[in-house]
Structure 1
Amino acid sequence: MGKAVSKEAWTADKLPESPVRVSNAAGRGRAIILCDHASNHIPAKFGTLGLSPIDLTRHIAWDPGALGVSNMLAMLLDAPLVESRISRLIVDCNRPPDAPDLIPSISELTVVPANQQLDEAAIKERIALSHRPYHAAIEDLIGEREREDFPAPVLVAIHSYTPVYRGVSRPWHIGIIHDADTSIAAPLIEGLERIEGLIVGDNEPYSPADRVYYTLERHASARRLPAVMIEIRNDLITTPHEEQVWAERLALLLKPIIKKPLRGVRETPDRES
């Protein structure tokens, strides 16, 4: 498993060998872990997009802590992990290609100078750089599992969010985001709510209505595959130890959930997950 990008520093180093990485592709677990906003890497040709190095360590550039949790959760569930390795300030892999905020000109309250008034060619370049290969990797992985007659995969997208957004405090420690299919979300919320002191959001601080569910809509909902999006407040996953605590907590709850038959999807019940 790869290491998370540093939370403390940002450097304009060379483009990673690939804009998307698939780890543990041969994992035998049923889950597939997705990390849309794993990295704050800006390819050198884009400079700093007109932002300060400090801005590029903030949540506007990525989801701090999400990759660390994803790595550990993938290990605990013996699951493949697909991660985007380019900052969402270049292009947001969790938005449809025609979304107005696909390439944010303003992120939260921060203006992104280099993202102002991009022409069609520049937009297509960014989609080809990161968005298209990320989603192609997910599609290829699901296709491989279908050809190998795996049980229908369960897609688990890991994100993090800020404790305060536009001046409004968010009390939840974790949010479980889902659409009409609650086969994963409902028992996961129930299990989390049994943990003393934990404040759990049900479609909070976001919901699919906020247009933050694109990756799961595209790869899970369209295939009638069970899925869940997990948002962890990023001040709770600032160290490897905290990331491990959350990964272990989630793995403990998810293991029995994803072993059960799930309605409306292809099942292969005699295969160990």
Structure 2
Amino acid sequence: MHLLTDQDGQPVTVINQGGSSAILLVCEHASRRLPEKLGALGLDEAALSAHIAWDPGALAVSRLISESMDAALIQQNFSRLAYDCNRPPEAPDAMPEVSEVYEIPGNRGLDDEARQARIDEIYRPFEGALSREIESRSKAGRRTVIVTMHTFTPIYKGVARDVEIGILHDADSRLADEMLARADSRYVVRRNEPYGPADGVTHTLKRHGLENGLVNVMIEIRNDLVRDEAGQARAAGFLSGLLGESLAALG
């Protein structure tokens, strides 16, 4: 079976591909749009607008950083409810039946063919675009630093989160260490919060950063701070400066 139609368009977009920065921005949860054939997955508009479907504000901040730092950006064009591109195909939450407090009826009891169609038409093109960009840069003798961009909810299962920006890493903490050492008091910034490697959120970092020996980091921003253009610009300015200073320190 085929999942995507001509009407759906491409599952991945590469922005500013020729950007001069070593940074390669990745936004796996950029969109809440679903492929036409999946309908609404049995969800109402409130659920499809919520964090379970995408990372509100992540793409806007990513694009601002891309512009200010002249960095390439790879974005996923479909909701993580169709396929979460920060998860490997074998992960149960790659196509979740339950997300936070929401049941996802359209993901319940998927057969092998339906699962494979999502893997082949959403995940593989996204992963392939990222792999090709890394390989192209390597052949050109260019340095690549993987920076994945995410947002998180202020309240999770009834518990408020006071952290405002999380700097996440897996086995390679080089860039995270520099960023944490240089972060000022404009935001509450913490290491591996509100998620960490044990939560299964570092797939992209491991697959494309660690496996290629590339410096990498994952950034999480509390989404109430980037709901409007002013908040997005403030966060992007802070992170652009922090990334620039930290990379300079790494040499």
- Give 1:17's match in structure 2, choosing from 5, 9, 16: 9
RMSD: 1.2
Q: Which runs of 5+ in 2 are unaligned?
A: 1-5
- Structure 1 residues 95 and 15: alpha-carbon distance in aligned structure 2, compared to 1, 3 A threshold: farther
CA distance in structure 1 between the aligned counterparts of 2:159 and 2:52, rounded to whole angstroms: 16
**Structure-1 separation of matches of 2:236 and 2:111:** 41
Quote the residue 1:271 is aligned against: none
SS state at 2:174 partner: coil
Q: Contact 1:30/1:258 (CA < 8 Å) preserved in 2?
A: no
Query: Which of the numbers 31, 38, 57 marks the counterpart of 2:30?
Result: 38
Confirm or deny that 1:51 pairs with 2:40.
no
Answering whether residue 156 of structure 2 is matched by residue 183 of structure 1, we say no
Segments of structure 1 that go 5 or more residues without pairing to the other structure are 1-13, 263-273
Is 1:156 aligned to 2:141, yes or no? no
Q: Does 1:202 align with 2:187?
A: no
Aligned length: 246
Q: Judging by fraction of residues, say which structure has more helix.
A: 2
Match of 1:67 among 56, 59, 64: 59
Aligned-partner Cα distance in 1 for 2:224–2:250: 35
Please give the alpha-carbon distance, in whole angstroms, between the structure 1 residues aligned to 2:162 and 2:185. Answer: 16
The code of the aligned residue for 1:166 comes to K
Deviation at 1:53, TM superposition (A): 1.4
Given the alignment, which residue of 76, 80, 85 partners 1:84? 76
Equivalence for 1:167: 158
- Partner Cα distance (2:193, 2:245) in 1: 24
Instruction: Measure the CA separation in 2 of the matches of 1:141 and 1:26.
Output: 10
Identity of aligned residues (%): 41
Match of 2:3 in 1: none
Runs of 4+ in 1 over 4 A off after TM superposition: none
Per-residue CA shift, 1:144-177, capped at 9, x if unaligned?
10111112x1100000000111111111011110
Aligned residue type for 1:86: F
Contact 1:31–1:258 under 8 Å retained in 2: no
Residue-by-residue CA offset, 1:105-161 (whole Å, 9 max, x unaligned): 00101000010010110000011121110010000000110111112x110000000
Does the aligned pair in 2 maintain the 1:20–1:133 contact within 8 Å? yes
What is the Cα deviation at residue 260 of structure 1? 4.2
Aligned partner of 1:129 among 121, 127, 132: 121
Q: State how far apart, in whole Å, the 1-side matches of 2:101 and 2:84 are.
A: 17
